[in-house]
Amino acid sequence: MDITNLNRDKKRRKGSIDLSTMVYGKVPPQAKELEEAVLGAIMLEKSAFDSVIDTNLKAECFYVEAHQIIFKAMQDMQQRGIPIDILTVVEELKRKDQLDQVGGPYYVTRLTNTVVSTAHIDAHARIILQKFIQRELIRISGEIIGDAYEDSTDVFDLLDESETKMFNITNNYLKKNFEDMGSVLAKTINRIDELRTKTEDISGVPSGFSTLDRVTYGWQPTDLIILAARPSVGKTAFALNLARHAALNPVKPTPVGFFSLEMSASQLVQRILSAESEIHMEKISRGKLEDHEYQQLHAKGIKRLETAPLYIDDTAALNIFEFRAKARRLVNKHGVGIIIIDYLQLMSGSGEKNSNREQEISTISRNLKALAKELNIPIIALSQLSRAVETRKESKMPQLSDLRESGAIEQDADMVMFIYRPEYYENYTNENGEDNRGETHIKIAKHRNGSLETIKLRALLHFQKFEEWQEDGGFQSFNGGGNFKPVGPAPSPGGGASEGGGKFFIQGSRMNGGDFDEGFDGDAPF
């Protein structure tokens, strides 16, 4: 081989970094003496264990295996109300048949000999925790490096997994400190003063519906809002209206993150375009647009939406850990102020084999609430209702007990809203005999920080749009609106056919799938 090439190879090898000498050639971060001091102090001082627990120190944080076993025994004793001292710890280890594993009674006794004072036990515990976090970062980094070298690794999955592992360290081992009443009171007074000087009444993210904002004052930060209904009632359409109104609000535009586990991003955008341009959804989805409609689509829809701060993720089978990582990135990178999920039951949880679906949904709802608090934004999660609504002979208005798969959804949510449309159950007239097609009730069944009310809106689902209810609007204002199929002339309030002999629509066509009945005559079945 040429001498020049040999020298070049030597320089290249010399300049490259050998990761093994940086990680595997060193002793992991540890503090054995402090571990002994902490365990000894707990056995000598009655209140020491509470101080240690307050630092979020756990058994796995100890480097020495014997210390892990001893601390775990202390935790078990504390839970059972047994006093912790040298003798009781030895007896507990005997009971668990672990005394020989830790070095016998002599080793347990020797731990107290290293204790000079218990005054600084919380500082010692924090150092042990810091060393553990360092070891975890080294371990996780090593796993990421190994996976990154694998050709079969999906780089985006690796990014999500890496973020999840890093977040778990923060979530599991770093606790927020207590705040004294004075500091919390000062923050609260500042917020009250800020709200007093505002001219608008909405303190959160606007919904776009004045009647709804009157009750909620906008979607509030840290709130988990559940929006539930039976299939094909209009959950996705209403959620997209909320997203569109927030992103395009003229006074308070708010970036929106929309996670769709059911529909593709293209289908969602078609619906938003229909609502914004007021062109029938059926025409947009099939591309059957007249020239003037195409110009209207550009002028009222595309031009307004192309710069809208609306971010759509249509990943199917998204799990809660991936969602959490993506949500954090959206907030940090794009300043997203509200997140909407369509819908909750399609999300997967921890993936543990022994957990049932109810436990999984409980984990998801609990994590969503925790994430809303962490990111300080509202999260709206759509949810399905059980079939119990259909079996009831009396009112079909949904109740909290109808929430599907888990009561934990009801417990974790700050607000639960139901969508109810009488025409969904083939009820086309109200108690006064007036036509009520398009009438939509948004029932607030749980509101942790406000009143429980029912808001009436009008559904124009052929436009994928909702608007404020006008009592004198009449049937003519939403010709053909709703998720219907043609069956015959619309009955007049007096029992006869409506003028014009046109067709009206009842429940039947699929709303989300984009399928239509053959021989359709008139407006789109949305």
pLDDT band at 472 (very low <50, low <70, confident <90, very high): low
Residues contacting 203, CB < 8 A, separation 6+:
195, 217, 218, 220
**Above 80 in pLDDT, residue 429?**
no
Rounded to whole angstroms, how far apart are CA atoms 514 and 286? 9
Q: What is the pLDDT at residue 67?
A: 92
Mean pLDDT of the chain, nearest integer: 75
Across 296-309, average pLDDT: 81
Across 377-403, average pLDDT: 80
List strands edge to edge, sheet with 256-260. 310-313, 256-260, 338-342, 379-384, 224-229, 415-420, 439-447, 454-460, 465-468
Partners of residue 429 on adjacent β-strands: 435
Across 330-352, average pLDDT: 81
Q: What is the pLDDT at residue 405?
A: 63
Q: What is the pLDDT at residue 424?
A: 76
**Above 70 in pLDDT, residue 14?**
no
Q: List pLDDT tens digits, range 26-57.
A: 788 888 888 888 898 888 887 788 778 777 78
Partners of residue 261 on adjacent β-strands: none
Share of the chain above pLDDT 70, in %: 79
Q: What interhelical angle do 357-375 and 320-334 show, nearest 10?
A: 20
Across 293-314, average pLDDT: 82
- Is the whole model's pTM more than 0.85, yes or no? no
Q: What is the pLDDT at residue 166?
A: 80
Q: What is the pLDDT at residue 198?
A: 67
Rounded to whole angstroms, how far apart are CA atoms 360 and 348? 7
DSSP conformation class of 485: E
Q: Where are the alpha helices (DSSP H) in 24-154?
A: 32-44, 48-54, 65-79, 86-95, 104-113, 121-149
**Above 50 in pLDDT, residue 99?**
yes
Across 487-493, average pLDDT: 38
Residue 406 · residue 355 · CB < 8 Å: no
**Above 70 in pLDDT, residue 178?**
no
Higher pLDDT, 485 or 296: 296
Task: List the single range of 112-121, 202-211, 349-358, 412-421 with lowest mean pLDDT.
Answer: 349-358
β 338-342/379-384 pair status: parallel
In three state form, how does the secondary structure of 412-444 look? HCCEEEEEECHHHHCCCECCCCCECCCEEEEEE
Q: What is the pLDDT at residue 378?
A: 92
Amino acid identity for residue 249 in this structure: N
Domains annotated on the chain, with CATH: 32-173 (1.10.860.10), 197-507 (3.40.50.300)
pLDDT band at 278 (very low <50, low <70, confident <90, very high): confident
Q: What is the pLDDT at residue 514?
A: 40
Catalytic positions:
262
Q: List pLDDT tens digits, range 112-160.
A: 887 777 778 888 888 988 899 899 888 888 888 888 888 888 887 788 7
